[in-house]
Structure 1
Amino acid sequence: MKTIFKHIKGDRAIWAIVAMLAILSFMPVYSASTNLVYVVGNGSTTGHLVKHIALLIMGFGILYGVHKIPYRYFSGGSVLMLPIVILLLIVTIAQGNTIGGANASRWIRIPFVGVGFQTSTLAGLVLLVYVARYLAKNKEKQIVFRESLIQLWLPVGIILMLILPANFSTTAIIFFMIVLLSFIGGYPMKYIANILGIGIVALGLFILVAKAFPDLMPNRIQTWESRISGFFSGESAENYQVEKAKIAIATGGVTGKGPGKSVQKNFLPQSSSDFIYAIIVEEYGLVGALFVLFIYFLLLFRIVISAKKATTIFATLLVIGVGLPIVFQAIINMAVAVNLFPVTGQTLPLISSGGTSIWMTCFALGMILSVSASKNETEESILDDNPLDILHETI
């Protein structure tokens, strides 16, 4: 055990939280996968559990590898990754796949592995690191709005517009997090108000174009409208899932029905991913529900501690930028299950099944651990990093 601890750096509490969430996910995923086996006819419950464990092991490998990288490399790395994620998003729009009943092409297949990869999740992570870099680099400077439109908001706008056609909820979350990070990073409030106005206008134009040319993006606007109207009226296809989730929660009681004894998992189409929290509440009751919620708030607390202890502006913004979305996504997933939010398709980080979510969450946590493991870095060394120099060092 001591040998293992010698090789892991950073906040030990975050390591423990990640391990705990991973272990907690085993039984719910194994139990909820019966829907995929007996209703959809896809594989076996043991097979789904083994696949989930394999994805978690790969996630821990990513977490370990990333946390060993000096966090200053992520600054220049985000610049190098921007054109790559833009290209990946274009490929996804052109020839992406639908997986798990999604009504839009959000995934591309990883060659020779056969695993789907949701490119928007990677794009959001890269974008948040890039925004943290820009804000840190200009913290002590007078920001000129026109210049920031080109340097900061143009890449943000391009990537968000490429994500939007297939995934409105992810686009909204990323945009909200970027605005929040900009506010924390000292970007002028009057400029943030301008960006919000531009964002609303851009979304309006997108909706008008989509309605005028429905063949370009079939059913996307209708899906958004049905989810929002169904949330308020209680009459939509997604409302069926919400009703089953509410039944699962209501019948869970204080201590739950017990591991593997969920009934509603047989009726919830996304019981092992989007609505896994409802299955947790049904099987483990209010006690299990509050415990999972407590773990995520504990993670939020450790993220804030890591941000406060960071030695540079970039490190602080990096931790906030990649850390808060994890907790925010968890809260949204749980809120959807209890019908406080419209259906969004957001998974429960490190608990829901799904490779992309696990891997990108581990990548983000690896960056946070890299920051918490760093010693006496200087801001100048980070901001002076040239992306080409980093590429040269990597080669």
Structure 2
Amino acid sequence: MSSLLQHIKSYIKGDLFIWALVALLALFSFMPVYSASTNLVYVAGNGTTIGILVKHAVLLLMGFIIMFFIHRTPYRYFSGVSVVMIPIVIVLLIVTLAQGTTIGGANAARWIRIPIIGVGFQTSTLAGLVIMVYTARYLAKRKDSIIDFKESLFRLWGPIALVLMFILPANFSTTAIVFMMIMLLCFVGGYPIKYLAGIIGAGIVFLMLFVLTAKAFPGLMPNRVDTWMSRIESFSDDESKEGYQVENAKIAIATGGLTGKGPGKSVQKNFLPQSSSDFIFAIIVEEYGLFGAGMVLLVYFVLTFRLYVAAKKAGTIFGKLLVVGVGFPIVFQAIINMMVATNLGPVTGQTLPLISSGGTSIWMTCLAIGMVLSVTASANVTEEELETASEDPLEKLYHTEEIEEA
């Protein structure tokens, strides 16, 4: 047994605690996903419970493969790749908006389908991850210089604005989360607070103009603004569609008790349309009780602590900012998901990372964790080594000044 562990350890790098926490969440996810899948099978008539479980296992396996290869890639490469990926994700977002239609009266312009494996891919999730890495890159490059606001408008906020502008029409919650995480990252990265206040104000004004435009020309973005408004209004309205889901989630939580009804014995999973994704935390509480929910919270809490340790131990500014930019949004998303299930916030459509079913969420979470693990595996890399290694022709695309070695 000891030799087997040593053999496995020789292939994986980085923080073993993070590896263990991710594996624990992934293994636990099989039970609630399998239980909640009965809603898709017997209510929605979508496949079989075994088929859904196998699909979830395959998606998790693919996610861990992504995480494995990413974590063995030196994290300095992510800096340059983010520059190349910015125009790519913008094109993907445009294509996604253009091909999106209405499904059952709801706008589906946030997904593109991967033909080979038949899985929907949410491009906004990838775009959010790329823009976080790009922001970390920009801030790290200017760690020793005074940031010029006019210069940052073009090289930092220009790409950010373009990405968020194309995410917003189809996915307001992701836009809001990415924007808040960028603000946090900029604050941690030393971007002047007075400039951040101006950016926040500009963002609010742009959002108001967008809502007014969408209201004036509803044909441009069918259903989206109405959906946002209905979700906010339904936060206190039990008669709406979202209110119906929240009420059933509250019933599931209330009947879970201390130890729960037991694995697979949830009743409310038959009434919650998104029981295996958006509202899976309610099913967890119903089946595993307050104790089970507490264990899930504890794992995310420990993951938060390990992310803090990873950021603190990183040998470079870019490494620290990368952990903050791609790691902490995972925990933030988990908090939002649990807040929605417990009626502490309006319905957002955010999944519970590594537990909810869904290909894009699993893959992008594993991609982000792989980046964090890459940082922890290269904690001894110095700032000078990172700067030297990251000098590449990509800098010329944005006419970025070369930074002198310390």
Distance of aligned partners of 1:102 and 1:11 in 2 relative to their CA distance in 1, 3 Å threshold:
farther
Comparing 109-118 and 227-236, the one that deviates more: 227-236
Q: Does 1:253 align with 2:253?
A: no
| Equivalent position to 2:95, from 83, 88, 91 | 91
Displacement of 1:234 after TM fit? 3.6
- What is the DSSP-based 3-state SS (H/G/I as helix, E as strand, rest coil) of the residue aligned with 1:116? strand
Aligned counterparts of 1:313 and 1:145: Cα–Cα separation in 2: 20
Aligned counterparts of 1:99 and 1:14: Cα–Cα separation in 2: 38
**Alignment of structure 1 residues 1-395 onto 2, 5 Å:** 1=4, 2-96=6-100, 103-383=107-387, 385-386=390-391, 388=393
Distance of aligned partners of 1:185 and 1:25 in 2 relative to their CA distance in 1, 3 Å threshold:
same
Distance of aligned partners of 1:315 and 1:149 in 2 relative to their CA distance in 1, 3 Å threshold:
same
Contact 2:100–2:107 (CA<8 Å) still a contact in 1? no
Contact 1:310–1:372 (CA<8 Å) still a contact in 2? yes
- What is the DSSP-based 3-state SS (H/G/I as helix, E as strand, rest coil) of the residue aligned with 1:255? coil
- What is the DSSP-based 3-state SS (H/G/I as helix, E as strand, rest coil) of the residue aligned with 1:33? helix
Displacement of 1:377 after TM fit? 1.8
Aligned counterparts of 2:372 and 2:366: Cα–Cα separation in 1: 10
Amino acid at match of 1:181: L
Aligned counterparts of 2:359 and 2:104: Cα–Cα separation in 1: 13
Amino acid at match of 1:59: G
Displacement of 1:353 after TM fit? 0.2
Deviations along 1:299-329, one digit per CA (max 9) or x if unpaired, are 0000000000000000000001000100000
Contact 2:330–2:353 (CA<8 Å) still a contact in 1? yes
When normalised by structure 2's length, the TM-score is 0.94
5+ residue gaps, structure 2, are 396-406
- What is the DSSP-based 3-state SS (H/G/I as helix, E as strand, rest coil) of the residue aligned with 1:7? coil
Contact 1:77–1:387 (CA<8 Å) still a contact in 2? no
Contact 1:98–1:107 (CA<8 Å) still a contact in 2? no
Q: What do you get for the CA RMSD once the two structures are aligned?
A: 1.5
Displacement of 1:249 after TM fit? 0.3
Aligned counterparts of 2:102 and 2:9: Cα–Cα separation in 1: 41
5+ residue gaps, structure 1, are 391-395
Aligned counterparts of 2:105 and 2:269: Cα–Cα separation in 1: 16
Aligned counterparts of 1:239 and 1:379: Cα–Cα separation in 2: 51
Aligned counterparts of 1:268 and 1:173: Cα–Cα separation in 2: 24
Aligned counterparts of 1:157 and 1:232: Cα–Cα separation in 2: 32
Displacement of 1:220 after TM fit? 1.0
Contact 2:323–2:372 (CA<8 Å) still a contact in 1? yes
Distance of aligned partners of 1:100 and 1:359 in 2 relative to their CA distance in 1, 3 Å threshold:
farther
Aligned counterparts of 1:107 and 1:161: Cα–Cα separation in 2: 16
Give the share of equivalent positions with the same residue, in percent: 71
Distance of aligned partners of 1:197 and 1:170 in 2 relative to their CA distance in 1, 3 Å threshold:
same
Aligned counterparts of 2:88 and 2:384: Cα–Cα separation in 1: 27
Aligned counterparts of 2:83 and 2:386: Cα–Cα separation in 1: 13
Corresponding residue pairs, total: 390
